[in-house]
Structure 1
Amino acid sequence: MRVLLTTWGSRGDVEPLVALALALQGLGAEALVCVPPDEEFATLLDRAGVPMVPIGPTVRSVTAGAKPPTAEDAVWLAAELVAAGFDTLPAAGQGCDVLLANGMMAAAGARGAADRLGIPYVYACYHVRGLPPRKNPPEASGQSGQDATDKAHWEQGQKATAMFAEALNGHRAAVGLPPVDDFLDYVYTARPWLAADAILCPAPLDRTDIDVVQTGAWALPDDRPLPRELEAFLDAGKPPVYAGFGSMATSSPKDTARVAIEAGRAQDCRVILARGWAELAPIDDAGDCFVVGEVNQQALFPRVAAVVHHGGAGTTTTASRSGTPQVVVPQIGDQPSWAARVAELGIGVAHQGPTPTLNSLTAALATALDAQTRTRARAVADTMRTDGATVAAKMLLDAVSPQPPGTVPR
């Protein structure tokens, strides 16, 4: 059995596929991962011993520029990724038995490649916002929060169709494939997989139009030791606060670092500052702040007092599994939804808006550091499953039996 896995996005998109690839290897299958050619992704796959094929432009070149991407940039990127899917995946997928794609950015080209290869295709996402939107727009009179969420989700589907459909059909025509009439049905399929923990992100119960398969989150095991200097910092006092925003390029890194460090100090806490793509740095020479690069969060988070982060799927899941309270400062995409769920579960605080001030972050940390929040965080951690990647790997292997080309595994 040989499986092709692909995505285009940040580390939070790539790392779960590496976890799935390792689970497949553990069951005796071969797995090949096609992801953006960013250096850190190549390092990650090399460390895991998983073969990688680069696809599309680097994520940093698109998201970490001096200015945020424009609407024109998004249209260009959509066309580039569809072209990359048709150019790269058919060659990489020779001899593969199934192709799994994560997220809309990779899925349009991936589904076309699966058709060209004549192999089954699976669409997977890490949050319910990645599921196909409803067919009809929400009622205009709806005023609830769910109405607003449904409307935004539906509009997201319309934008995706506008960006990807023309490029997809152009490439299909060039290789002799018929046009796709319903882009969303074609790419999302009627049986999408939700690779998220059922506690943190339960599958919607009211979606009778699709058959959602919830596998659990795909977490990559990490047994790397923490750096000696970090161990020494942790041992030198009471548990510090961790603050990091991963691959999010904040609008003002200097202000973000200052607010995080000073908010920690306001709560009489030392701070571990994760450099991340925003290149966060200390604001002075005081010994109460330690800066880390890429680090084993699974080993670190249980040893800190609170985790301040951007609300990516992977970081939220790791923090939740650690039993450590969180402050989620969402930036884009599904991150506000993760923040809201953390607050709903009582395991942390959802910061209002993407730009914390000293007052707002200090207040959020006060709630997160409360003993009641920690007790609740530990209780929720005990209910979370850790076998999502294995569940998904077994499903892939069980599903791929002789069947018509281009069908969706059941």
Structure 2
Amino acid sequence: MRVIFATWAWPSHLYAMVPLAWACRAAGHEVLVASEPQLTGTILRTGLPAAPVGRDVDAVAVFRDIVHPPEGRPGKGGGGPRVLGLLAELAESMTDDLVKLAEGWRADLIVSEPTAFAGPLAAAAVGVPAVRHLYGVDLLSAAGRFLPDVLAPMCEKLGLDGVEPFGAATVDPCPAGLQVPTGSRRLPMRYVPFNGAGALPPPTPRPAARRPRVCVTWGTTYSRLYSRMFLAGDIVRAIADLPVDVIVAVAPGQRDLLGALPPEAHVVEGAPLHLLLPRCDAVIAQGGAGTILTALDNGLPQVLVPRLPDHVRHAARIAETNAGVVVPAPGVEAAAIRDGLTAVLDDPAHRDAARSLRDEMRDQPPPARVVAELAHIGVGATADR
């Protein structure tokens, strides 16, 4: 079976699909990862073969304008419609080349992350199945009624009467207890953390008196959009007087955004989060899907301080499951952060809820078993052509 994994150029969306793509290769299937040219280097660093398609679209500029319009000019408003417009532009930029790739390479199946609509469009155009691969809570399932209008111009261009944006099935690494109803048949899959390539950092020293170890991390999105929303340093300073050991996990280039930190805080730069969290007892973060799922995979309760709409919705599900607490923005104050961390460390109900979700995740089928489901979908449909 030949499988194309498709995403636009947002690394965390790619990372979510890497374990399944490698499982396909390990099972003897052929794999290509298709994305905008600017993601090529990131794809190659996962060890997977890359197929650049379409043209680069500056999604960062659009998101930056939504969260922080230039001074003196109000934002263009309508964050939801603007995001859907961006996703339509990304699909338009990639679809023609993805169709040519799928035809020329004789793909049997196209797997795409849920915001990469070029995947289901190209699959429909060449007559192969499309499968979605979630990277977190299915935030687009609620937008299903808007998607036919969003995709209609591209369907017309391709000569399609329409397209099923949710595909024939949805690969879902979330535990069912965290997930909302998915847009198509759910294929549960054990979450295998992949937060990028990197080396295991040396162990950090611990005082003789065992204290809880807290990881503070702020993902990569905020530093790209608006540095004042990068709150990791503020968080560390807010909890400096608590009896905890602090690890600050930052991506390359983020250290300067932290500001002056207490001398006890230990900064780790460039280490994938899944290599750090097994040493920790709790996480304070921004609410990104990859961070949330990696923390849950380690059974860690979380304090989440979301600012972006998708982070707000992911964080809300964590609070609803009692696996953590949310400190709402704006107006984040040090006392609220300290209270949130004290709550998740002192109340065993938060830890128990996080571990329950961890156990549920680990009971889901591993990627190798999901590959067999994909083969049934892909090869079976190809045989019928």
TM-score (structure 1 length as normaliser): 0.75
Cα distance change of structure 1 residues 340 and 217 upon mapping to structure 2, 3 Å threshold: farther
Partner of 1:325: 301
The structural deviation recorded for 1:131 is: 5.3
In 2, Cα distance between equivalents of 1:307 and 1:394: 35
Q: 2:157 aligns with which of 171, 196, 204?
A: 171
Partner of 1:227: 201
CA contact (8 A) 1:6 1:102 kept: yes
CA contact (8 A) 1:330 1:354 kept: no
The structural deviation recorded for 1:308 is: 1.1
In 2, Cα distance between equivalents of 1:344 and 1:234: 33
Deviations 1:132-153 (A, max 9, x none): 4xxxxxxxxxxxxxxxxxxxx3
Residue type at the aligned position of 2:108? D
Q: 1:265 aligns with which of 209, 220, 240?
A: 240
Structure 2 counterpart SS, 1:253? helix
Deviations 1:339-362 (A, max 9, x none): 233233332212223663212211
Cα distance change of structure 1 residues 349 and 394 upon mapping to structure 2, 3 Å threshold: same
| CA RMSD after TM alignment | 3.5
In 1, Cα distance between equivalents of 2:201 and 2:357: 29
In 1, Cα distance between equivalents of 2:88 and 2:29: 32
In 1, Cα distance between equivalents of 2:136 and 2:29: 26
TM-score (structure 2 length as normaliser): 0.79
Q: Structure 2 stretches of 5 or more lacking a match?
A: 70-74
1:82 aligns to 2:91 (yes or no): yes
In 1, Cα distance between equivalents of 2:96 and 2:45: 27
Identical residues among aligned pairs (%) = 25
In 1, Cα distance between equivalents of 2:352 and 2:131: 39
In 1, Cα distance between equivalents of 2:57 and 2:263: 36
Cα distance change of structure 1 residues 226 and 377 upon mapping to structure 2, 3 Å threshold: same
The structural deviation recorded for 1:32 is: 0.9
CA contact (8 A) 2:175 2:357 kept: no
Partner of 1:51: 49
Residue type at the aligned position of 1:264? I
In 1, Cα distance between equivalents of 2:309 and 2:187: 20
Deviations 1:159-178 (A, max 9, x none): 54444432x13531xxxx24
Residue type at the aligned position of 1:288? E
Cα distance change of structure 1 residues 402 and 313 upon mapping to structure 2, 3 Å threshold: same
Structure 2 counterpart SS, 1:266? coil
Structure 1 counterpart SS, 2:128? coil
In 1, Cα distance between equivalents of 2:380 and 2:352: 50
The structural deviation recorded for 1:260 is: 0.6
Partner of 2:188: 215
The structural deviation recorded for 1:258 is: 3.9
- 1:290-329 → structure 2 map (5 Å cutoff): 290-329=266-305
The structural deviation recorded for 1:371 is: 5.3
In 2, Cα distance between equivalents of 1:376 and 1:115: 41
In 2, Cα distance between equivalents of 1:255 and 1:20: 31
In 2, Cα distance between equivalents of 1:89 and 1:235: 54
